[in-house]
Each structure stands twice: as structure tokens, then as C-alpha cells.
């Protein structure tokens, strides 16, 4: 039965299969014929509306002359994944973008984030998150705000679970000095960053105000690595919600952006000292 609303992960699988088909120079009709299916079936698979079995993924890859075994295995993993993540508890309370982001982070093999507006979501305290999420027009009623805050707090578990993926964060000093709520919340957030930076999988670096060569005030992004580089994804905030980028040129640009921003940041030990000094000022 066709899915009413495929997830971003399911849609990504479909797009990757379409890329392989187009690289092979085949039409959707020809690919469907290879599967013994009608053309609409291929359309539904490539849009993520219909699921696809491991057998069909491997059969299509063989017909497409795809020799990248690691990519094929990664696509099979997505196609056969039946995990019901904790984020599904929020399906009736939040928009799909919230769930897609949590699923993206759950499956990431590493993450890199740039924070030039707010502390990255995975590092926020509950009070900081509530202040950020509540600051909108029109204001959210508590019935809508509460699940957003709870969802953001549950996302944090990806950093502390067994075998947690490496997480690199570069944060500008303006973010650390901005009080989204009051002095207490600001101090607790800085203390939380110091605590998180002690985790072996977390690297936290700060860009001070007085550094030369930083023009990236609009560089906010989350770069998540997939099982293979071709399945990397970037999440960026837009005026009306999250945007997910996965075109090869976009991924290359975002990797370059992260390296540029990271190059002017303090080293981790210096960054911890910097945050500690800021916390003492509050």
C-alpha cells in the first residue's frame, strides 16, 4: 500500500535509486520492465511513496551496472530498516520536519554543526531550548510548545548513547553571550557546554569576537555523514522550517564552508577556557 507521507529518509532512498537509473541511461518505464512491474510502481519507489525490497534494490543496482558495493549495501539498509524510533511518539504532535531531523541524527555516522545564531539544538539545556522555541510570532500555546521542547531534549540522547557518533561544533562568541532568557539560563547553558565538551565523542570550538577572517555570520548548518559519503545530508534553517540538502555540489560546498569556519576557531582546550571565563562573568 502506498505511504501517505514518506519520511525524508524514505524519499532519499528513492532519489538515490533514481540517480542510479538516470546514470545508466534508462527510463522509469524500462526500469519497471526489468522488475516485471508497471511504470507507476517505479514512480512510487523513486518518490519514496512505495517501499522496495532488498532483492529489488540489488536487482536494480545490477541492471544499472552500479559497482559501488558499499553504496548498494547502504541503500539496502535503508530499504529494509523497520526501526520505530522514539521520534514516532511525536507524529501526531509535530510536523514531519521535526521527526525527519531526529531520524537523520539517529543514523548519522558523524555530525558537524556551526552555530552563529543559537547554541546547536543537541547541546541546548531545557530552559534555553524553551526560550528559543517560544520566541516566535504568533506565540505558541503551551500545548504546542511543550512537545517541541520535549522532542529537542530527547534528541540529545544521540550524543550520550553507547557508540555515539563523533560530534563537532563550532560556535561563535555572539551565541555564547546572547541571553535568550536571563542570566541564570545563560550561565547554566555555558556550564552545560563545558560538561558536554568533556565527552570523548564531542569536539567544541569557539570563534571569538576578535578573530580575523570570519565573515560567516549566516553559516548555520548541521552536516551529517551517512554510511557512505554519497548519503551525507545537510540540514539548514530557513524562514519557514528546515531544509535538507543532499546534491553532490551542495555537500561539497557545505564541507568547504565548515572547514573555512573551523579554521578561525580556537582549539578545543582554548575554547573550554574561553567558555569558562564567559561563565564566570555571569
Residue 113 belongs to a domain: yes
Let me know if residue 90 belongs to a domain: no
| 88 within some domain | no
Averaged pLDDT for residues 78-97:
94
Name the percent of the chain lying above pLDDT 70.
Answer: 99
Choosing from 53, 80, 107, the residue where a domain stops is 80
Of 48, 80, 112, which closes a domain? 80
Helix (H, G, I), strand (E, B) or coil at 4: coil
Looking at the fold, whether 233 and 155 belong to one and the same domain comes out as yes
% of residues, the chain, pLDDT over 90: 91
CB-based burial, 247-270: b 16+ in 10 Å, e otherwise: eeeebeebbebbeebeebbbeeee
Instruction: Count structural domains, the chain.
Output: 2
pLDDT of residue 176: 98
DSSP single-letter state for residue 243: E
Is the pLDDT assigned to residue 25 strictly greater than 90?
yes
Tell whether the model's pLDDT for residue 226 goes beyond 70: yes
Q: Are 231 and 173 in contact (CB under 8 A)?
A: no
Is 116 within a domain?
Answer: yes
Look at residue 58 in the predicted model and tell me its pLDDT: 96
CA 125 to chain centre: 19
Grid coordinates belonging to 132: 528559543
pLDDT of the residue at 241: 72
Q: What is the pLDDT of residue 239?
A: 65
Residue 86 lies in a domain: no
Of the listed ranges 2-11, 53-62, 95-104, 225-234, the least confidently predicted one is 2-11
pLDDT (mean) for 85-99: 95
The band of 83, judged by pLDDT with boundaries at 50, 70 and 90, is confident
CB atoms within 10 A of CB 133: 19
- Report, as an integer, the average pLDDT of 124-138: 95
Residue 137, pLDDT score: 82
Q: Which domain holds residue 27?
A: 8-80
Contacts of 28 (CB under 8 A, 6+ apart): 21, 39, 42, 43, 46
Q: Checking DSSP bridges between strand 241-245 and strand 233-238, what pairing results, if any?
A: antiparallel
Whether 179 and 126 have beta carbons less than 8 Å apart is answered as: no
Answer with the one of 30, 57, 80 that is the final residue of a domain: 80
Residue 3 placed within a domain: no
Average pLDDT, the chain: 95
Q: Answer yes or no: is pLDDT of 275 > 90.
A: yes
- Going by pLDDT thresholds of 50, 70 and 90, the confidence category of residue 173 is very high
What per-residue confidence (pLDDT) applies to 1?
A: 60
- The CATH number of the domain where 49 resides is what? 1.10.260.40
Phi first, then psi, for residue 219 (nearest 5°) are -90, 15
- Please check the confidence at residue 187 and state whether its pLDDT lies above 70: yes
Is the domain of 136 the same as that of 267?
A: yes
Could you tell me which of 165, 163, 130, 162 has the C-alpha nearest to residue 148? 130
Examine the pLDDT at 128 and tell me if it is beyond 70.
yes
Decide: helix, strand or coil at residue 168.
strand
Q: What is the CATH number of the domain that holds 219?
A: 3.30.870
| 75 & 100 share domain | no
137 shares a domain with 69: no
Q: Are 106 and 85 in contact (CB under 8 A)?
A: yes
Q: What is the pLDDT of residue 2?
A: 65
pTM assigned to the model: 0.94
CA distances from 231 to 5, 15, 48, 108, 228 (A): 21, 11, 15, 10, 6
Give, as one character, the DSSP assignment of residue 161: S
Q: Model confidence at 210, in pLDDT bands (50, 70, 90)?
A: very high
pLDDT at 24 over 90: yes
Q: Identify the band that residue 232 occupies on the pLDDT scale cut at 50, 70 and 90.
A: very high
Q: Whose CA is closest to 5, among 41, 50, 43, 38?
A: 50
Amino acid at each position: 500500500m502506498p505511504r501517505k507521507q514518506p519520511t525524508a529518509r524514505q524519499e532519499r532512498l528513492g532519489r538515490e535509486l533514481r540517480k542510479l537509473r538516470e546514470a545508466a541511461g534508462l527510463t522509469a518505464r524500462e526500469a519497471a520492465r526489468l522488475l516485471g512491474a508497471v511504470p507507476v510502481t517505479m514512480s512510487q519507489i523513486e518518490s519514496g511513496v512505495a517501499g522496495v525490497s532488498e532483492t529489488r534494490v540489488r536487482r536494480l543496482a545490477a541492471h544499472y551496472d552500479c559497482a559501488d558495493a558499499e553504496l548498494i549495501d547502504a541503500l539496502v539498509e535503508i530499504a529494509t530498516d523497520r526501526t520505530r524510533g522514539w521520534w514516532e511518539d511525536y507524529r501526531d504532535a509535530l510536523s514531519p520536519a521535526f521527526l525527519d531531523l531526529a531520524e537523520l541524527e539517529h543514523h548519522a555516522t558523524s555530525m558537524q554543526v556551526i552555530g552563529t545564531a543559537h547554541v546547536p539544538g543537541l547541546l541546548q539545556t531545557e530552559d534555553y531550548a524553551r526560550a528559543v522555541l517560544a520566541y516566535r510570532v504568533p506565540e505558541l500555546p503551551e500545548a504546542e510548545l511543550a512537545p517541541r521542547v520535549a522532542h529537542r531534549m530527547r534528541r540529545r540522547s544521540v550524543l550520550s548513547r553507547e557508540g555515539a557518533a563523533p560530534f563537532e561544533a563550532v560556535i561563535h562568541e555572539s551565541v555564547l553571550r546572547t541571553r535568550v532568557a536571563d542570566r541564570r539560563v545563560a550561565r547554566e547553558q555555558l556550564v552545560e557546554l563545558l560538561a558536554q565538551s568533556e565527552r570523548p565523542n564531542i569536539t567544541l570550538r569557539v570563534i571569538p569576537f576578535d578573530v580575523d577572517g570570519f565573515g560567516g555570520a549566516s553559516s548555520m548548518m548541521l552536516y551529517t555523514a551517512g554510511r557512505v559519503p554519497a548519503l551525507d545530508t545537510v540540514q539548514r534553517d530557513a524562514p519557514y522550517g528546515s531544509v535538507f540538502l543532499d546534491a553532490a555540489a551542495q555537500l561539497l560546498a557545505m564541507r568547504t564552508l565548515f572547514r573555512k569556519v573551523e579554521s578561525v576557531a580556537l582549539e578545543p582546550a582554548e575554547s573550554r577556557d574561553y567558555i569558562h571565563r564567559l561563565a564566570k562573568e555571569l
